[in-house]
Structure 1
Amino acid sequence: MTVVALLSVAPVREGSMAGEVAKAVGALDEFDVRYETNPMGTVIEADEPSELFGAAQAAHEAVDGDRVSTVLKIDDKRASDDAADEKVTAVEDELGREASSNHE
C-alpha cells in the first residue's frame, strides 16, 4: 500500500520562514518516506499511515517558534498502490498535456 500526504509546517511569524521550513523538511530524512517539497508544502509517500504520522510529528517538532502551524492531509487509497507521480500522470493523460501552465 502507498499512502500519500500533503504536509505543511511553518512557524507563525512575519518574515522568511525558509530556515524553519528547511528544518522540518530535513527531519523527514530520518524516516522511511519519500518526499518532494513544493511552494505550498511537502508531498510525502509511505507504505503505512503510521510512518506519515511519525514523520509529520518530527517535522513539526523541528520548527522553532512560540507558535507552529502544521497541516497533514492524508490520501489513503486502500484499493490501489498508486504513487503520487502516478496520480499526476493520470491527470496529465486526461488533459493530454502537462498539468502546468508552462505547457506549449
Structure 2
Amino acid sequence: MTVIALLSVAPVIEESMAEEVAKAVDALDAFDVSYETNPMGTVIEAEDADTLFAAAAAAHDAVDGDRVSTVLKVDDKRTSDEGADRKVEAVEAHLGRAAERER
C-alpha cells in the first residue's frame, strides 16, 4: 500500500517563511518517506498511514513560532500501490502532454 499526502506547514508570520519551511522539510528525512516540495506544499509518500502521520507531525513540530498552520490532505488508496508519479502520468496520458506549463 502507498499513502500519499500533500503537507503544508508554515509559521504565521509576516516575513519570509522559507527558513521555517526548510526545517519542516528537513524533519521528513528522519522517516522512511519520499517527498517532493513545490511552491504550495510538499507531497509525501509512505508505505503506511502511521509513518506518514508521524513524518507530518515531526515536520509540524520542527517549525518555530507562536503559531503554526499545518494542512495535511491524505490519499490512502488501500487497494493499490500506485505512487504520486503514476497519478501524474495518468493525467498526462489524457492530456497528451506534460501536466505543467511555464510562463
Do Structure 1 and Structure 2 share a fold, with TM-score over 0.5? yes
Indicate the residue corresponding to 1:99 in structure 2: 99
Distance 2:31 2:81 in 1: 20
Pairing 1:64-75 to 2, within 5 Å after superposition: 64-75=64-75
TM-score (norm 1): 0.96
TM-score (norm 2): 0.97
Indicate the residue corresponding to 2:89 in structure 1: 89
Identity %: 74
Q: Which amino acid aligns with 2:17?
A: M
> 1:80: Cα distance to partner?
1.0
The SS at the match of 1:81 is coil
Indicate the residue corresponding to 1:20 in structure 2: 20
Q: Which amino acid aligns with 1:38?
A: N
> 1:85: Cα distance to partner?
0.4
Give the gaps of 5 or more residues in structure 1: none
Query: Aligned residues, how many?
Result: 102
Distance 1:16 1:7 in 2: 18
> 1:74: Cα distance to partner?
0.3
Distance 1:90 1:28 in 2: 27
Pairing 1:20-99 to 2, within 5 Å after superposition: 20-99=20-99
The SS at the match of 1:99 is coil
Q: Which amino acid aligns with 1:25?
A: V
Distance 2:29 2:101 in 1: 31
Deviation above 3 Å: which 4+ runs of structure 1? none
Give the root-mean-square deviation of aligned CA atoms: 0.6
